[in-house]
Structure 1
Amino acid sequence: MEMLALAATNLTSPVVLFFVLGFAAALARSDLSVPEAVAKGISLYLLLAIGFKGGAGVAASGLDARLAASLLAGVILSAAIPFVAYALLRAMTRLDATNAAAVAAHYGSISIVTFVAMTSLLDGRGIAYEGYMVAVAAAMEAPAILSALFITARAGSADKPMDRELMREVMLNGSIVLLTGAFAIGWITGEAGLERIAPFIVAPFQGVLCFFLLDMGLIAARGLRGSAKSLSGRVIAFGILMPLIGAAFGLVTGWLLGLSTGGIAILTTLSASASYIAVPAAMRVALPQANPGIYLTLSLGVTFPFNLTVGLALYLTLAQMIGG
């Protein structure tokens, strides 16, 4: 079966195996760790490389109505999915409105590392995709946060309204600024600019990604180990079910937009992923009473490993079926 073969290939890729190494090391209580400054530097490198290559790709292909439609669709997906996630959480679990809204925000936003893993999978299989999908990823970061705050306000549980300072925190989040800024620079300089810095952002990319996934494995396992009491079986089940629901929205949307097979796979992956960088930072400001042991551990310790090991192969297989 094609999907099983694809899953096996993905599971034995260096990226996934380094994640497994970090996860296993943390579960075994090894003292292996990545210094925080190094991890931050790697994150910045990945965002810069992703954004620049995406901008150069748009410069090469040019602007069209499909780009504008894809950006709009990404914003709508990011804003709408938290409402679905919130309703599902309230039906499946005993989480209060604040914690349910905080978790829901993570599932409307995106995981940039899951996005990178899918693009790496596509590149490895020679499957083309639209370069502007990195701009769609950037556009899907913030709307989910606004939806979560709207949900908590409606539920009467918001301590902090969406004021100017909070809007600034959301829109000027470092990951969004670097991703969109690098995208703009790549767009301005085009393929000539990409060629000039290719030795820095192309050749080392896979190796740096492996190092980053090692750190993610360590963080995910330690989060699970430390927050096990906060995660009931139903909450964990949500962390596996919700990506599949989000993927269905992304899959249909990508098909309606007329994206390529690779583009559909990426939009499906974005809709199925859960943020663990931008949204946790915003939730600490907007909903300080929400429990990070629930929302961060669920997105990073449950959904991220599921997507990395099982989801990517499934999403690509579905994209190939629907996109031809």
Structure 2
Amino acid sequence: MDIVFGIFATVLDQVQKPTLAFLIGGMLLAAMGSKLEVPDPVYKFVVMLLLLKVGLGAGISVREANLAELAVPAVLAAVVGVGIVLLGAGTLARWRGVSRVDGLATAGLFGAVSASTLAAGMAVLDDEGVAYEGFIGALYPFMDIAALVTAIVLAKVSVARRAAASGGGTLTLGGAPPRVEGLGGGLLSGILSDTFKSPAISALLIGLAIGIFAEPDSVYKSFYEPLFRGLLSILMLIMGMEAWSRLSELRKVAHAYLAYGLLAPLAHGALGFGAGLLAHHLTGFSEGGVVLLAVMAASSSDISGPPTMRGALPEANPSAYVGTSTGLGTPVAILSIPLWMALAGLAIG
């Protein structure tokens, strides 16, 4: 019982902090019908700066990081991304009345990472003085790409199987639609190309590369760090309004998405938390690192994932995967940050 009260007290305390307060504030504004709007170019600029900051910070730290210490969490992050999609394939995608393609597209977004949620987790840990590895941002693309590739490949195979069954044909790998190209051919290379070219991944990776191969320390400390918290507060306000507005899209889809959006972030976060604990025992991964791996697993992609899914799976219903991830998954993931902090404190601290 003391553990429950401790977690509740931690959650209550964090809700009052700027990061979560702006998110809730945005939701309240939207709920009251406020006409406040943030231009889309401003939103994209804020996201780009946040991702550059995360990438630069990770790259600067990777320069001095032990590659063995980085390798284990990176592999585990990829495994968690694939595991989340497989879990969604066995639950949501099999739910009666749910299209398997829609279910897999949703699972793909939940397996991918929200950079803004990761940034929020970092800010919360910074506020509490909890240390974490500087290279933590470098784990982002491992989980993100692994989840998106897995979800899209499974969906393409499902479409091919359904087409073969309805037409009395044979499922083949390596032809034109509805067949699925070989995993080493155009399908996989196209998915990887689209993912790497997406604005979010591009900004993160170029920041990471510059941090590793150049010396951007001065501009990082004088420009990106001072702006980070202010930009994050704007992003949280935007995400709060967006989350509330997208709740209405769930009326168009099965009630299964409502349950998935509320419960999946907690289940996925638990997978990430378990992987973080394993990394802690294997390499001494920090308490803050364990928390952030759980936060990444609990999050769902709100930037790079949707355009990738729209391009690769045009038959999937955007109101299902975008509405569920942004409308429910993201707020639950951000509000669950104190939970992972409390559990990490009990398990490690």
TM-score (norm 1): 0.92
Does 2:298 correspond to 1:275? no
- 1:254 aligns with 276
Deviation at 1:69, TM superposition (A): 1.4
Compute the displacement of 1:163 (Å).
5.5
Deviation at 1:87, TM superposition (A): 1.1
1:171 aligns with 2:174: no
Match of 1:88 among 78, 81, 91: 91
Alpha-carbon separation, structure 2, partners of 1:198 and 1:108: 32
Residue 181 (1) aligns with residue 181 (2): no
Provide the residue aligned with 2:82 in structure 1: 79
Q: Distance in 2 between matches of 1:197 and 1:85?
A: 38
Higher mean alpha-carbon deviation, 165-174 vs 274-283, is at 165-174
Change (3 A) 1:91 1:168: closer
- Of 125-134 and 2-11, more deviation after overlay is shown by 2-11
Question: Take 1:232 and 1:96, find their aligned partners in 2: how far apart are those partners?
Answer: 10
The residue type equivalent to 1:236 in the other structure is L
Tell me if 1:299 matches 2:325: yes
1:124-203 matched pairs, under 5 angstroms:
124-156=127-159, 162=187, 164-189=189-214, 193-203=216-226
**Gaps (5+ residues) in structure 1?**
none
1:182-203 C-alpha deviation (Å, 9 max, x unpaired): 012122345xx32443121111
Q: Which moved more, 1:150-159 or 1:228-237?
A: 150-159
Counterpart in 1 of 2:32? 28
Structure-1 separation of matches of 2:35 and 2:328: 22
Q: C-alpha displacement at 1:139, in angstroms? A: 1.9
> What is the CA-CA distance between 1:56 and the residue it aligns to?
1.7
Residue 223 (str. 1) matches residue 238 (str. 2): no
Change (3 A) 1:36 1:319: same
Query: Structure 1 residue 286 and structure 2 residue 295: aligned?
Result: no
Alignment CA distance shift 1:231-1:58 (3 Å): same
Q: Which residue of 1 aligns with 2:73?
A: 70
Shift of 1:138: 2.3
SS in 1 for 2:334: helix
Q: How many angstroms apart in 2 are the aligned matches of 1:185 and 1:78?
A: 26
Moved more, 9-18 or 122-131: 9-18
**1:93: Cα distance to partner?**
5.0
1:127-156 CA-to-partner distances (Å, cap 9, x unmatched) read 111111100012222111111122113323
Aligned to 1:58: 62
Other structure's SS at 2:132 match = coil
Q: Indicate the residue corresponding to 1:235 in structure 2.
A: 257
> Whole-Å Cα distance in 1 between the matches of residues 41 and 238 of structure 2?
12
Which residue among 213, 216, 225 is the counterpart of 2:236? 213
With normalisation by structure 2, the TM-score equals 0.86
**Letter in structure 1 aligned against 2:68:** A
How much does 1:94 deviate? 2.3
1 CA distance for matches of 2:207 and 2:219?
A: 15
- Distance in 1, matches of 2:120 and 2:6, equals 19
Residue of structure 1 in register with 2:164 after alignment: none
- Structure 1 residue matching 2:134: 3-state secondary structure: coil
Specify the structure having the higher radius of gyration (Cα): 2
Deviations 1:160-212 (A, max 9, x none): 8526444321222221121011012122345xx32443121111211110011
163 and 267 in structure 1: CA distance in 2 versus 1, 3 angstrom threshold:
closer
- The separation in 1 between residues aligned to 2:197 and 2:93, in whole angstroms, is 31
Structure 1 segments of 4+ aligned residues over 6 angstroms from their partners: none
Whole-angstrom CA distance in 1 between matches of 2:275 and 2:250:
35
Q: What SS does the aligned partner of 2:55 have?
A: helix
Which residues of structure 2 form unaligned runs of 5+?
A: 161-176, 182-186
Checking the alignment, whether the CA contact within 8 Å between 2:98 and 2:254 is kept in structure 1 is no
Q: Quote the Cα distance in structure 2 between the aligned partners of 1:103 and 1:2.
A: 33
Mark the CA change 1:278 to 1:93 in structure 2 (over 3 Å): closer, same or farther: farther
Structure-2 separation of matches of 1:65 and 1:174: 29
Q: Which residue pairs with 1:315 in the alignment?
A: 340
